[in-house]
Chains A and B, each alone.
Chain A
Amino acid sequence: MDIGFSPEEQEFREQCRDWLQTHIPAEKRPLNADEALDFDKAWQRQLFEAGWAGINWPERYGGRGLSIVQQVIWLEEYARARAPWIGANFVGINHGGPTLIVNASDAQKAFHLPKILKGEAIWCQGFSEPGAGSDLAGIRTKGRIEGDEIVINGSKIWTSFAHVADYQELVLRTEEGSQRHKGLSWVICDMKAPGITVRPIRKMSGQVEFAEVFYDDVRIPLDNVVGGLGNGWAVAMSTLSFERGTGFIADQVKQSQEVDDLIATARAEGLITDDRIAEDLAQLKAEVSAVRAMTYRNISEVERRGQPGPEASIIRLFTAELGQRIERMGIRLMGERLLDFRYGDDDLVHDYLRGFAATIAGGSAQIQRDIIGERMLGLPRSR
């Protein structure tokens, strides 16, 4: 075990740092999806042109195919430089694209992957439905096969960036009467297809980023099925094998910066003399440091065994709740200025309100605890 990086890795770190320093957009990323779209596309284009798009994608699909340690270094430097979140490109780069790489036909890959890397096509993820949240297998949106087309009816909800997206990774029930994980298909849905209505939903932070999507006899080519008809659950899950736990590292650096910022604020405003505040800040600083240690450990495991262990669920849960503790400290230091928050403000209050999603979206804190208890600790299953 050691925590050092090789001279070549150090040199790579310098490269990342240099490029980021000179290229990060001067202006702040806008809050709402429609206002952020141009920003996100332009930034993705820049990343692409400099060879920083899809660092974990294989080279033959236009990615950079970096080693896992290099990915970590890039993500650390990315966060350290306070580079903007990739926003509307998130699903395409981290989810849709990887799923296509693992499961799609050559034609599908050739058409979609370059567009995703260049920021030319925005993707969204249509998994959750009003009746299928934590229980994703409860999906009811239907796809009826008619000749060489699928006719889609139903609705999805909480689809981030749906109102600005070009394509959607859509999981729907293509087998009439099928139950749970069976009879689902993962399809590429053109968001501009007739019959799609998108209703953006405002969050309690004022931000408009996710939406409800309605499908009324939407027709898409049967060719848009990825990974085989009726195989949707396996396809949706296969993306997870692409996730090497590296994503946490960016969160870790960001959280560590946030804690350092809060400590600086507490010092500047004399609040650090309050023992309870000092104590809580010290605790946060230690916890953030442990996230890096956990992540390095997890990544080393992946290097050795080729796939992430169930520990990833622990890092996820801990990071999500730690983030919320940091956000709570942020508003605590504000005092009564907290009350001056208004929709549209992009500040610590906004982070706090938006941060509630960390323990809800993509596997709630409760579901994560079930996974740790059952898959990792071997406790009896409750469902």
Chain B
Amino acid sequence: MDLTPNDEQEALRTATVDWLADNMPLDQARTRPASIWQGMEDMGWFGLTTGAMGLDHATEALLFAELGRFLAPVSAISTAVAARWSDTEGKVALALGERILDSGDTETALGLFDGKAGLVSYQAAAAEPSLDLSTAQTILDAAPEPALLGESEAALHFRLLTAAYAVGCAEAAGAMATEYAKMREQFGKPIGSFQAIKHMCADMAVRSQVCRSQLYYAACALDGEDPDVDFHIGAAKRLADQAALENGRANIQIHGGIGMTDEALAHLPLKRAHLLQFVAPTATAELL
């Protein structure tokens, strides 16, 4: 048993963060250049667990949490799952009932249908903004009929990567709030010196640690074909959703007036958290 990343995983993570910090800063979350997709593909993130690269899900979850922290396109999740469990090539959007998220530049999407992963085709239509300002969506007249993927692991994989995104999102909100609490001064000291704020930051860190730990455990359960893997991935997704939403809200509160604005970045993680909460959510019955 060792639930810490090894040197190789750490190195991959560092390379991931470096690239994301340079190419996908949060202040460009809603106006990303078209070339970003090619850049991500070149980084290999869509094929980490395919035969060609052969990395495990633990490594993949580690890197996807970083993608989630930078509010990377959600279609990286569907694309990676499609690459692993089907022979679809190129970008695959994320299907959510009749909504196709990040729907541009492809006519194929992947999502869960009654708990099973499936692919759908749709007619490219002009994408519209969504609540999550970094994700455009196309709303179809009706939920398309999916072609279900054979392997049941595909759904687990999909939920695991979504959970990883939510973990990163929760951490992004926590980090943003904590940095602000160190820097912003009122009454002659940093607001983080007031217990009310300090404790909110601490709670954000607790939630982040809780869901990140469960994410690692769940990823290893998938790699090790653990009999309880469904439960562990379900728990990871539930905890990560909760952390992302609660940290997202606390982040705005800690920022005060500026947190209420469109120009500051504080609202972005919360809005992303609201999107992720609908992607492969964990129903209560799945955990009992």
Residues of A within 8 A of B (CB): 128, 131, 133-135, 138, 157-158, 201-204, 206, 331, 335-336, 338-343, 349, 353, 356-357, 359-361, 364-366, 369-370, 382-383
- Top 10 A-B pairs ranked by shortest CB distance? A204-B267, A202-B262, A366-B196, A135-B186, A341-B131, A158-B257, A135-B187, A339-B130, A336-B278, A134-B186
Q: How far is the CA of A160 from the CA of B154 in the complex (A)?
A: 50
B263 proximal to A (CB < 8 A): yes
Contacts of A135 in B (CB 8 A): 186-188
Does the CB pair B263–A201 fall under 8 Å?
yes
Does the CB pair B97–A336 fall under 8 Å?
yes
Does the CB pair A360–B253 fall under 8 Å?
yes
- The residues in B between 217 and 262 inclusive whose CB is less than 8 angstroms from any CB of A are 249, 252-253, 256-257, 259-262
Does the CB pair A359–B253 fall under 8 Å?
yes
Q: List 30 A-B contacts (CB under 8 A).
A: A128-B257, A133-B256, A134-B186, A134-B191, A135-B186, A135-B187, A138-B186, A157-B257, A158-B257, A201-B262, A204-B259, A204-B266, A206-B262, A335-B278, A336-B97, A338-B131, A339-B96, A339-B99, A340-B139, A353-B267, A356-B252, A359-B253, A360-B256, A360-B257, A360-B259, A360-B260, A364-B253, A366-B196, A369-B196, A382-B195
Output the nearest chain B residue to A202 by Cβ-Cβ distance: B262
Does the CB pair B194–A382 fall under 8 Å?
yes
Contacts of A206 in B (CB 8 A): 262
Contacts of B249 in A (CB 8 A): 356
Contacts of A342 in B (CB 8 A): 128-130
From the candidates A133, A343, A365, A366, name the one contacting B194 in the complex (CB within 8 A).
A366
Contacts of A360 in B (CB 8 A): 253, 256-257, 259-260
Contacts of B137 in A (CB 8 A): 339-340
Contacts of B278 in A (CB 8 A): 335-336, 338-339
Residues of B within 8 A of A (CB): 96-97, 99, 128-132, 137, 139, 185-188, 191, 194-197, 249, 252-253, 256-257, 259-263, 266-267, 271, 274-275, 278
- Closest chain-B Cβ to A165's Cβ sits at a distance in Å of 18
Q: How far is the CA of A359 from the CA of B130 in the complex (A)?
A: 26
Contacts of B131 in A (CB 8 A): 338-341, 349
Q: How far is the CA of A131 from the CA of B186 in the complex (A)?
A: 7
Does the CB pair A364–B256 fall under 8 Å?
yes
Contacts of A353 in B (CB 8 A): 267
Does the CB pair A203–B260 fall under 8 Å?
yes
Contacts of B253 in A (CB 8 A): 356, 359-360, 364-365
- Closest chain-A Cβ to B82's Cβ sits at a distance in Å of 22
Does the CB pair A356–B260 fall under 8 Å?
yes
Knowing A134-B186, A336-B97, A338-B274 are in contact, say whether A203-B256 is a contact too (CB < 8 A): no
From the candidates A133, A138, A204, A383, name the one contacting B261 in the complex (CB within 8 A).
A204
Does the CB pair B274–A339 fall under 8 Å?
yes
Knowing A336-B97, A340-B131 are in contact, say whether A204-B196 is a contact too (CB < 8 A): no
Output the nearest chain A residue to B137 by Cβ-Cβ distance: A339
Output the nearest chain B residue to A130 by Cβ-Cβ distance: B258
Q: How far is the CA of A53 from the CA of B185 in the complex (A)?
A: 41
Q: How far is the CA of A203 from the CA of B132 in the complex (A)?
A: 15
Q: How far is the CA of A203 from the CA of B196 in the complex (A)?
A: 25
Q: How far is the CA of A4 from the CA of B128 in the complex (A)?
A: 53
- Closest chain-B Cβ to A300's Cβ sits at a distance in Å of 32
Contacts of A370 in B (CB 8 A): 196
Contacts of A369 in B (CB 8 A): 196
Q: How far is the CA of A203 from the CA of B32 in the complex (A)?
A: 21
Q: How far is the CA of A157 from the CA of B229 in the complex (A)?
A: 51
- Closest chain-A Cβ to B76's Cβ sits at a distance in Å of 18
Q: How far is the CA of A370 from the CA of B271 in the complex (A)?
A: 30
Contacts of A340 in B (CB 8 A): 130-131, 137, 139
Most buried by A among B187, B257, B261, B275: B257
Contacts of B263 in A (CB 8 A): 201-202
Contacts of A361 in B (CB 8 A): 257
Q: How far is the CA of A81 from the CA of B266 in the complex (A)?
A: 36
Contacts of A339 in B (CB 8 A): 96, 99, 130-132, 137, 274-275, 278
Knowing A135-B186, A356-B253 are in contact, say whether A336-B261 is a contact too (CB < 8 A): no
